[in-house]
Amino acid sequence: MARNVYVEKDVCISCGLCVETVPEVFRFDDDNLAEAYDPAGAAEEKIQEAIDACPVSCIHWG
Ligand code: SF4
């Protein structure tokens, strides 16, 4: 079973990095904040790359 991943939206600065690198999992919501709309949409390694690259470390497993 795929792990769940979520964005701490009140910390997201809308840089777009996660949306650009893993569009199968992340997208912008109506407020231009990132959200994980499909946590199972990509390999965990790919998601981990976005987690590690997020400039404000607001993407988390769980
Ligand atoms: Fe927001 Fe982080 Fe994604 Fe940038 S990488 S859009 S700060 S969640």
The pLDDT value recorded for residue 57 is 98
Q: Tell me the per-residue pLDDT of 4-55, one tens digit each, with 9 for 90 and over.
A: 999 999 999 999 999 999 999 999 999 999 999 999 999 999 999 999 999 9
Q: How many Cβ atoms sit within 10 Å of the Cβ of residue 14?
A: 12
Confidence label for 2 from pLDDT (cuts 50, 70 and 90):
confident
CATH number (domain holding residue 55): 3.30.70.20
How many angstroms separate the alpha carbon of residue 2 from the centre of ligand 1? 21
* CA separation for the pair 23, 29 (Å, rounded): 13
CA of 1 to the centre of ligand 1 (A): 25
Number of compact structural domains in the chain: 1
User: Which residues have any ligand 1 atom within 6 Å of their CB?
Assistant: 7, 12-19, 34, 54-56, 58-59
Predicted pLDDT at 44 = 96
- Give me the domain span that covers residue 40: 5-61
Say what the pLDDT of residue 14 is: 98
Residue 1 confidence (pLDDT): 64
6/29 Cα distance (integer angstroms): 13
